[in-house]
Copies of this chain bind each other. A is one copy, B any other.
Amino acid sequence: MPTLTINAIRKLLRGAPHDEAELEKLAAQVHTLPAGELSYLMRTTAPTESAVLFLVLDKNQALQVFKQLSPSYQAKLIDTLQTEQLTNIVTDLNPDERALLFGELPATVVKRLMQGLSEKEQQMTASLLGYPKDAIGRYMSPEVLAVPANLTVGEALDYICDRIDEPETIYVVPVVDDTRKLLGVVSLRGLLAAERGAPVTDTTHVPVSAQVTDNREDTARLFRSQKLLAMPIVDSEERLVGILTIDDVLSILDREDAEDAARTGGSEPLPQSYLSLPIMRVVRSRIVWLVVLAVSAILTVQVLDVFEDRLNEVVVLALFIPLLTGTGGNTGNQAATTVTRALAVGAVRVRDLPRIIWRELRVGAVLGVVLGALGLLIAGIVYGFDIGLVIGLTLLAICTMAACVGGVMPLIAKKVGADPAVFSNPFISTFCDATGLIIYFSIATTVLNLG
């Protein structure tokens, strides 16, 4: 039963130090685990505890498991357990995986690990590390198979088969001239379907490519929108320097999605999986935003302070505060989520701002009419018509305002070059809270003849 086994292993791992007999027991249990369970075990255990696992995994298993971890987790493992086993794993990584890991390690450790690599591997890794952290160059594979443009289809196929072990992919093959300038791309399928005697340039098509220094997310989105399997990467002189494969692209997009999801919820993304992190690291990902939001919320205290006399006069007004601010926040969040998503998938651009305001104005008004009517009815029955009218009108105004604010904020963020998710749901809620209270007490003052 895997349930028992995972828990048993976790317990074993926690009880360091370990003697020989215990390690053997651990090894026996680990070898019965399916790959998916092993990966789940790692993601729910701190790196300091799971390090022991790498003593008992066989070489191949250790490499597979290691590859599935985030670079930050990998770095902590290496920090915890500086064994030959782990050094060997680093040697067996692809150059792009290694560059991402090295980006997380202190310079002294990188230097030590570099010495274990062959000269060619050292060179490739160093060149990848030379690109900025968010450049696509960090993610590409420098081991790219390209065929010279002067070959025939048959020669090209033989050329590929002779070098089949090295490159990361052989299904998309760049075609280059003598100076390694990228001329085109040919798919292996295209080559196999063509006449062997025809020149390879006949089946070549114009490549969708990117430059090494291009932004990783933009390049990944371009790759996805074109439904590619691989994309050649060139330097500033159009010379082929690497190839980006779909798994690189998907891991970039996964990371961006995780970042967006975290920001939308008002926290910073975690560097590794939730259950494997120390408590204080989780706190750190949340505290800054929470304090910023709490301090912004002091605005709501000040707004209410201004209206304290009205509250003293009609204390029943206080009862509706959470309902009204809550509804405003919800309406704003709905609009913000829709527009943020549409921006991410390219179905909306910044210049659509006027159309979006006009849409959200109408959507918000319709929502406000429905909720306002409900509010008028319910509050009117329980607290009298006057209060009902105040609540109804306030809901109408708040919904219209919040839908517009929620729709516009992601566009403003994008316009000023920030992540659209940075005006997160909590931020929009806080903004709508303060504005909504001003609307509420203004309407109440007029309708109830206060002040």
Over the window 300-324 of chain A, the binary record of Cβ atoms lying under 8 Å from chain B Cβ atoms (1 yes, 0 no) is 1100110010011001101111110
A170 interface residue (CB < 8 Å to B) = yes
Q: What residues of chain B lie closer than 8 Å to A184, measured between beta carbons?
A: none
Interface residues of A in 256-274 (CB under 8 A from B): 257-258, 261-262, 264-267, 270, 273-274
Given the complex, which residues of B lie within 8 Å of A286, measured CB to CB? 331, 334, 363, 367
- B170 lies within 8 A of A282 (CB): no
Count of identical protomers in the assembly: 2
CB-defined interface of A191-224 with B at 8 Å, one 1/0 digit per residue? 0110000000000000000000000000000001
A294-B333 Cα distance, complex, nearest whole Å: 14
Q: A170-B189, A290-B330 are in contact. Are A300 and B275 (CB under 8 A)?
A: no
Question: At the interface with chain B, which of A36-44, A87-95, A100-108?
Answer: A36-44
Cβ distance A275 to chain B, nearest Cβ, rounded Å: 6
Q: Complex Cα distance A274/B343, Å?
A: 10
Q: For window 161-201 of chain A, which residues contact chain B by CB distance below 8 Å?
A: 161, 164-165, 170-171, 188-189, 192-193
Q: Judging by beta carbons under 8 Å apart, are A334 and B290 in contact?
A: yes
Instruction: Known A267-B337, A363-B279; judge A329-B192 contact (CB<8 A).
Output: no
Report yes or no: B334 in contact with A266, Cβ–Cβ below 8 A: yes
- CB <8 Å contact, A264 and B266: no
**Which A residues, 39 to 96, have Cβ-Cβ distances below 8 Å to chain B?**
39-40, 43-44
Q: Identify A370's interface contact among B43, B161, B291, B297, CB under 8 A.
A: B291
Residues of B within 8 A of A289 (CB): 330, 334
Q: In the bound complex, what is the Cα–Cα distance between A308 and B317 (angstroms)?
A: 10
Query: Binary interface profile of A, 358-376, with partner B (CB < 8 Å = 1, else 0)?
Result: 0100110011001100110
Chain A interface (Cβ within 8 Å of chain B)? Answer: 3, 36, 39-40, 43-44, 160-161, 164-165, 170-171, 188-189, 192-193, 224-225, 227, 229, 246-247, 250, 254, 257-258, 261-262, 264-267, 270, 273-276, 279-280, 282-283, 286-287, 289-291, 293-294, 297-298, 300-301, 304-305, 308, 311-312, 315-316, 318-323, 325-327, 329-331, 333-334, 336-342, 345-349, 351-352, 355-356, 359, 362-363, 366-367, 370-371, 374-375, 378, 395, 425-426, 429-430, 433-434, 437
